[in-house]
Each structure stands twice: as C-alpha cells, then as structure tokens.
Structure 1
Amino acid sequence: MAIVAVILVVVIGLVYAYLWKRLAGDTVRSRWARRVSAVIAVALGLLGPATLIGVRSGHLKWLAWPGYLWLALLFYLLVTLIVLEIPRLVLRLTWARHGRTGKRAEAPQSRNLAADRELQPVIAAGETIDGDTHAPAAEPGVRNSGPGNTGSGSGAVGEGMDRRLVLARGAAIFAGLTAAGVTGYGVRTATSAPRIDRVRIPIAKLPRAMDGTRLAVVSDIHLGPLTGIGHAQRITRVINSVNADVVCVVGDLVDGTVAELGRLAEPLRGIESRRGAYFVTGNHEYYSGFEPWIGEVTELGMRPLRNERVEIDGLDLAGVNDLGGDQHGDPADFGKALGDRDRSRPVVLMAHQPLAAKDAAPYGVDLQVSGHTHGGQMAPFNLLVTLQQPVVSGFGRVDGVPVYVTNGAGFWGPPVRVGAPPQVTVVELRMA
C-alpha cells in the first residue's frame, strides 16, 4: 500500500511539473512570475487529494465544487497539451531544418567577401584615394557598427527565441481555452435531465404475453454533496415519462449515508411502473453503508433483489449484489439467484458491473442490464475504462451473454460529462 502511495505521489508530481513547464515555465521570463506560478501549482496539486479525501470523509464538503471542477480542468489541460506536443515538435523540427539550410546558403557568400577583402588595398586611417577619405578597414571577422548594420547573426538568435516564446504562449492559451470550454460544456451536460435511450432486444424464449415489455434501466444516480433534491426530481420525471412496465435501478444510487442524503432520495418515491421497481447494490452503496440504504430503498417503494429473482408473467427478473460486496461481507451469489430456476423461462439479470456477465454465463442468462461505467463520463477516459470492463456503453456480448450498459443518470467526482450524456435507457423486449 505504501508503494502504491509513493508511486501515486510521484505521478501526480510529474503531471504538475509538466503542466507548470508548459503553462508557466515556457511562457514567462520573469523570475518573480515563475516563483508565483510554482506556488500556485503546488497549491493546486494539494487541492485534488484534499478534495477526494475531505469530501468522502465529510469534513471538507465545501471543497466539492472547486476541487472537482479543478480536477476536470486539469484532465482536459493535460489531454490538450499532450495532443499539442505533436504540432509543437513538427514546427520546431521545421525551424531547425530551415535554419541549417539558411546557414549553408550564407557560407559561399561569406567566402567571396573574404576573398574580396584580400584583394583590396590596405588603407590607413585618414588616407585619401582620388580625394575621398576612408575609414580604417575592419579587422577580419569584426563587423563595423555603423548605421544600417543590424547584426544579422544576433537577430537570427533573437528571432528564434521569439518564435519559441510565441509558440509556447499560443499553445498555453489554446490549451486553457479548450479545457475551460470543454469543462463548461461537460458541466452543463452532467447537470441536465437524462436523455432517453431506446433499444429493442430480441429474446428467444420470451412469452407472447411479455412481447414488447419495456424496462426502464437507470444506474449511477449518485446522490451526493454536489447534487440537490432537483437531481432526483429530474430523474424521476424522465423515468415516469416512458411509462415503463418494470423499472430497474442497477446500483450506485448514493455517495453518502442515509442521514446525509435521505432527503435527497425522497423524490424517488414517486417512481411509477406497471409491474414494479427493483434495485440492486452498486459498489458505492458499500462505501456509504449498504444495510441502511437497503432499508431506505424499500421504504421508497423499490424492491431490492439481493441474490434473488422474481417471476413476472413468465419472465424471470434476477438481481445480484455488486462484485465489490465481497469485501464487505455481502458478496454476489449467482448460484442463489440463478441456479435452481426453470430454464424454459427467459431471465433478465440486473447486475451493477458489466463484468458480472462472466460469472453469469454458465446460468444461461438471456440478457444482463448494467451500469457502473458511466459510458466513460469524460472522453477520452472511456478508452481506459475498456481495460477494466468488457462493455463501456450500449449493447455487447460477454462470454455469450447479451449485455446492455446504460451511461447512468448522474455523475461521480467532477460534475462533468463529455461524450457520454446522462441516460435513462428503455429496453424493449421482443420475441425473437
């Protein structure tokens, strides 16, 4: 654990050193300005960990908005600056190549001038030729400093320095504006009402009576320090607008205790459906005290499926605890939820993580609905999510199990969504 902490500190230090160099070290010449920017970089470097630790512990909740917004801005600054390294390198190589070409072109001219000097008579100071008075000849290699002699050698060096400075400042300004614009767009997206995503999925054994059954799948609501009561109200309105037969809440409802967030969850009591609303735990329930939340969810009118299933007109709806529950004495039990069922009936499995499909595959699951990934939440972070989860967003297959992953209706950490808008997914089951 100590080694991981040391590695994390080193990585964070390198990231901030890189940002300081590109945003301040390469763009300012004043020592005073460099020192001030270094102090700011250190302060911002401490803000991120302080936010993550303080908000989670509940002692520094006031840091939530500025701290998480800075983390989002930091992410997009880093991404933009890394992308800009390519054109930066191309320009500098181009300038270097042109500089070498210019020197080769000047060399013959310099040799001709030297030869001309050797052919010229040596003229003493004040000596006259044809009545004209001449200044003393300059020594070889020494320029006269008269009017009109600008010293092209020093000018070339100055020009190179100016170009590098302009390039550095232009890149810094572009990165800052891009990061601010993307972050602002992401905040607006994350705090808006979830969009409705509709998909039809055929199931071979689906009874005719269940053909066209609509499941409203919602995950990752993440009630927490950055969400007010309006967050749950918006989500409830969207769920009710689709007139679902079954509502499936597949985990990560909260980021805090019942005492802290119970009032924010109250609007979920208004969720409407024809055949009931069901809930399974996500990993964040285990960080927030899962047992009190199981009771609270039941009070709100949702039925928790804790490694169990219910039959709905010939369709089995099963639910398993999150894979992370194992560390809290509340593991997922696929055998208990699926082992003794009648396989002539189709089964839809509610599981928070798409990865759970690997454990569900031996039980002949017809469809698994999941969340957890947030669709990546902040592109291009979605590329990293693929390293841990087999499906990031939308439909896929995992070990033969059809899996649909919704983006989630809320956000975790930075109140920012880019490339993965908040979602409530309507899954329409159809006969094959």
Structure 2
Amino acid sequence: MIFALIVIPVLGLFFGVHRYLWCRLVRDTTTPGSRPRRAGTAAAFVLPVLTLAALLAGRAGAPFPLQRALAWPGYLWLALVLYLTLALLAGEAVRAAGLRLLRTREPAEPTPPPPATRAPAREDLAPSPASSPSPCPSPSPSPTLLPAGTPALPPTAPPPRRLFLSRAVAAGASLAATAAVGYGTATTLAGPVVKRVTVPLAKLPRSAHGFRIAVVSDIHLGPILGRAHTRRVVETINRTNPDLVAIVGDLVDGSVADLAPAAEPLRGLRARHGAYFVTGNHEYYSGAGSWVDHVRELGIHPLENARTELPGFDLAGVNDVTGQTEQAGPDYDQALSGRDPSRAVVLMAHQPVTIHDTVRFGVDLQLSGHTHGGQMWPFTYIAAATNPTVAGLERYGDTQLYVTRGAGAWGPPVRLGAPPDVTVVELASLRA
C-alpha cells in the first residue's frame, strides 16, 4: 500500500512532465500531420519507456550487456528531462511576453456571421471534447462553431509569428539543457579532482603530524562507470602519495559477477599503511557480503564494525545504516569499545547522518560520503535539507565531520555544481 502511494504519484509526475515537454517541444513547434510531428510524438513515447527500463533493468536481473545498452540513453535522457523542464519553465515568461506583443500587432479577426436561427439539436447541447481541460492548452485560438452538417475543417498550423516564437523558445531551452548535460557528463568522465584539507586533532601525537588520508567515496561502478573510471580514480589517488586510503562506501551498483573486472584496478592502490573500506547503502543493494569478500581479495581491508591501531591514532569503521535490513547495521560498541581513550580515533562511516551517534562515542573525526554534494543542481538543495553536512568540514561538539562529494555518479553520469573529488585529509597535531 505504501509502495503504491509513492510509486503512483511519481509515475504520474514523470509522465505529466513528458506530456508538457511534448506540448512545448513538438505540438507547439510543428504542423499537424508533418513528419517532425510524428517523429517527436514517437520519441515522447519511446524515451520515457527507455528511462524506466534503465532504472528497472538491474533490479529485474537483466543481463549486464542489456543493462549497459539501456543505461546510457535512459539515464542521459533523465538528466535532459530535468534541465529541459527547468529551461522551458523559465521560457514561459518569454513566451507569455511574446504572445502579448503579437496580440497587439495582429489584426483583429473578422466577426463570423451569425448562425442560421434554428432549434438546437440535442447533440449540439453536449460539451465539445475540445472544451475539456488539458495539461497543455493549445496556443491557437478556439475554433469557430459551425452549423450542424458543415464539414469539419482540417487542422491548421498556428500563425507564422506564433510558430516562430514557440520554435525560438524550444530551441533555446534545448540548447541550454543539452549544454548543461554535456558539461556535467564531461565533468564526470574526466575523473575526480584532488581537494586538500587540514584537520587538527587535539589527541594526535607529534609523531603523526602530517599523516595524509586519501578519502574517496561513491565511485559507483556499474553499467555506465566501469574499469576506465576505476583506473582514473586509482591514478588520482596514487598521485597524492597518501599514507592511507579510506574508501567510505558506495563502491558499486551491481553484482561481483558483473563488476569484478571493473573493480580490478583497485588492486593497484598504493599507500604506506594500506587501503580500508566500509560499506555504503548501495553495497546492500548489490550483495554486500560478496563485495566485502571481493574487496579483501583486492588487497583492501574491510572494517565491518571494527577498528585497527595505526601509528598515532585508531582507525575505525562502521557498516552503513542500510545494513540494518540484513542485521548488519552500524555497531559503535563493537567498533569502539575497549580502546584507549587517550588516543585519537578517526571513524569511517558512509552517511553523514550518523554523526550524532559518533559524537556520543567521543570520535575525533568522521569521514563520510553519500551526498555527492547534491550531484546535479538543484538537487544540491535537497541534499542540504536531508543531511547535516553536504560537503566539506564541519564541527559537531568535539567531533569533526568531513564529507567528500564522491568520485562517481549515481543514475545519470552527470555532475553539475558538484564536481567529483578525492580529498587528501592531512591530520595535524596541536603539539607540533
């Protein structure tokens, strides 16, 4: 019941938006019966179905080659829908102003002669189908009512000036949306940039001053981002010459069977004290147990509610909160109990929302991801409303939280307003 209450409105909005796009991009810019009108109408049916197929293929267990074939056009169209809709909504003001200007310049239409006087037939009293409400009302004037028995006139194109206005708004919106999605896709495929941040820790000894942790999250290997993407991430990390690599969840979107070749370059990570991994929510959609085992085979150390001692501080990790559905959620007692409280502790936890539990356990620094920094504007505002920190370093009591924007992308391979990153967190001792 709850599923239906969520899915039905979402699907209604999804197809309603496509109806609006068809009105503004196809109906208002083409003549009835023309080849462009038929092609645009066909695309208005095919593209949303393709997007839904891309979203559902993985969950339905479709063969991985089919998932890859559907993912690129399906997810890129989803991003285009977002920015086309925003651009067209902004263009409505231009459209309205243009129509007002045209009305002042167009000559008045001649008044039609009055119809012959006769008793109205019963069928004449029925409401016309054209008078029913429509999600995108026609820009052309209402047709003149003709006496009964008069042959219906063929549909006509809108006046040339109105057609030009509609085409200009549609072309501008399409150009802006395509440029935004193209730039966002290029940003994603170029790989993460390196950010550097210094975090002072009161308990950190002088001997550990300058310890560098390369923090990476949300790589999201899947039908779109594959082996080449992993190689770019690994090369970026290795160029920073870190002391330790912290992979804080959402490594994959798919099974080990499908994505093991894509994850293989992780074997090449180089750090003086090794690489560590904690699960994210997407691992639990992809077989977390199998991925933990596979990550270990790649030479990376999983921290499943566990802790290890490093020179100068403790490194701990907790499972993602999504693991609670498999009785494998975060266990702070298991990860942190019995440790020396005089030592600094750095905690790897995928989601920033766990920061309040982290504060209660006296953690000095939490490293997280999950938010993607919002990934695509205007989702940055939604990410800010649902997470304590979207990106960057903030303090909560005596605990500091650092959130990376992640190195990949979920869904559309598009990053706009939130470029991907690998962050080198340099620990600083107050005693240095």
Instruction: State the TM-score bracket (shorter-chain normalisation).
Output: 0.7 to 0.9
Say whether the 8 Å CA contact 1:390–1:398 is kept in structure 2.
no
Say whether the 8 Å CA contact 1:55–1:64 is kept in structure 2.
no
Asked if residue 7 in structure 1 is aligned to residue 5 in structure 2, the reply is: no
- Give 1:28-177 correspondences, 5 Å limit: 28-32=30-34, 34=37, 36-56=39-59, 57-59=61-63, 60-61=66-67, 62-92=69-99, 162-177=160-175
**Mapped partners of 1:339, 1:31: distance in 2:** 73
Which residue identity is paired with 1:366? D
Give the counterpart of 1:364 among 355, 362, 365: 362
- In structure 1, the partner of 2:184 is 186
Give the counterpart of 2:26 among 24, 27, 31: 24
**Mapped partners of 1:55, 1:183: distance in 2:** 23
Q: Larger Rg: 1 or 2? A: 1
Which residue identity is paired with 2:46? A
- Give 1:351-390 correspondences, 5 Å limit: 351-390=349-388
Which residue identity is paired with 2:50? L
SS at match of 2:357: helix
**Mapped partners of 1:366, 1:94: distance in 2:** 63
Say whether the 8 Å CA contact 1:232–1:264 is kept in structure 2.
yes
1:133-167 CA-partner distances (Å, limit 9, x unpaired): xxxxxxxxxxxxxxxxxxxxxxxxxxx95544333
1:293 shift after superposition: 0.9
1:43 shift after superposition: 1.7
SS at match of 2:215: strand
More displaced stretch, 204-213 vs 165-174: 165-174
Change (3 A) 1:161 1:416: same
**Mapped partners of 1:215, 1:167: distance in 2:** 55
**Mapped partners of 1:81, 1:348: distance in 2:** 47
Give the counterpart of 2:201 among 176, 179, 203: 203
**Mapped partners of 2:92, 2:365: distance in 1:** 44
**Mapped partners of 1:203, 1:92: distance in 2:** 63
- Give 1:191-340 correspondences, 5 Å limit: 191-340=189-338
1:21-43 CA-partner distances (Å, limit 9, x unpaired): 11122222324554553332122
1:311 shift after superposition: 1.6
**Mapped partners of 1:247, 1:385: distance in 2:** 25
**Mapped partners of 2:377, 2:228: distance in 1:** 26
SS at match of 2:412: coil
- In structure 2, the partner of 1:342 is 340
- In structure 2, the partner of 1:407 is 405
**Mapped partners of 1:95, 1:37: distance in 2:** 26
More displaced stretch, 28-37 vs 197-206: 28-37
**Mapped partners of 2:172, 2:377: distance in 1:** 19
Which residue identity is paired with 2:29? T
Say whether the 8 Å CA contact 1:282–1:321 is kept in structure 2.
yes
More displaced stretch, 61-70 vs 51-60: 51-60
1:23-65 CA-partner distances (Å, limit 9, x unpaired): 1222223245545533321221211111110144334312111
Which residue identity is paired with 1:306? E
RMSD: 2.3
- In structure 1, the partner of 2:391 is 393
Say whether the 8 Å CA contact 1:236–1:271 is kept in structure 2.
yes
Q: Which 4+ residue blocks in structure 1 deviate beyond 6 angstroms?
A: none
Change (3 A) 1:17 1:409: same
Identity of aligned residues (%): 49
Q: TM-score, normalised by structure 2?
A: 0.81
1:248 shift after superposition: 0.3
Change (3 A) 1:265 1:36: closer
Say whether the 8 Å CA contact 1:358–1:399 is kept in structure 2.
no
SS at match of 1:387: helix
Larger proportion of helix: 1
Which residue identity is paired with 1:415? P
More displaced stretch, 419-428 vs 384-393: 384-393
1:65-91 CA-partner distances (Å, limit 9, x unpaired): 111121121121112122223444455
**Mapped partners of 2:225, 2:45: distance in 1:** 29
Change (3 A) 1:429 1:20: same
**Mapped partners of 1:360, 1:87: distance in 2:** 51
SS at match of 2:409: coil
Change (3 A) 1:91 1:201: farther
1:335 shift after superposition: 2.3
**Mapped partners of 1:397, 1:28: distance in 2:** 56
Say whether the 8 Å CA contact 1:214–1:429 is kept in structure 2.
yes
**Mapped partners of 2:97, 2:398: distance in 1:** 46
**Mapped partners of 1:410, 1:312: distance in 2:** 29
1:94 shift after superposition: 6.5
1:283-310 CA-partner distances (Å, limit 9, x unpaired): 1111111111111111111111111111
More displaced stretch, 275-284 vs 176-185: 176-185
Which residue identity is paired with 1:192? A
